[in-house]
Amino acid sequence: MDIQQLRTIEEFQEIADNNSSFVIMKHSLTCPISAEANRQFENYREEATIPLFRLYVQEVRELSNYIAEQYGVKHESPQVIQLINGQAVKHLNHDSITTENLKTIG
């Protein structure tokens, strides 16, 4: 499954309106822990069964903050959030973002 990049709040809202279940990764371009988490996310995409999205926190801070506020999930990076029917049902951060842990979300 491809990983699509998120750039705007409007783009995110359209995705949320058109997908009952999807996964977002908040990735920091300057953090080595985030680089490893991103590698794990890339590995997971081969087995993913739901749409995957990634945002680069340095480039879209407003969107990152919006997601944190909208879904009540404290911002961290790296962070992976699974959304189902408009609710954040699971999230992973830092070293817990592994291919094995990602397999538990879809």
DSSP of the chain, one letter per residue?
--EEEP--HHHHHHHHHH-SEEEEEEE-TT-HHHHHHHHHHHHHTTT--S-EEEEETTT-HHHHHHHHHHHT----SSEEEEEETTEEEEEEEGGG--HHHHGGG-
Read off the CATH number of the domain in which 8 is found: 3.40.30.10
* Band of residue 74 on the pLDDT scale cut at 50, 70, 90: very high
pLDDT in tens, 28-66: 999 999 999 999 999 999 999 999 999 999 999 999 999
Q: Is pLDDT above 80 for 84? A: yes
Structural domain boundaries, residue 47: 3-105
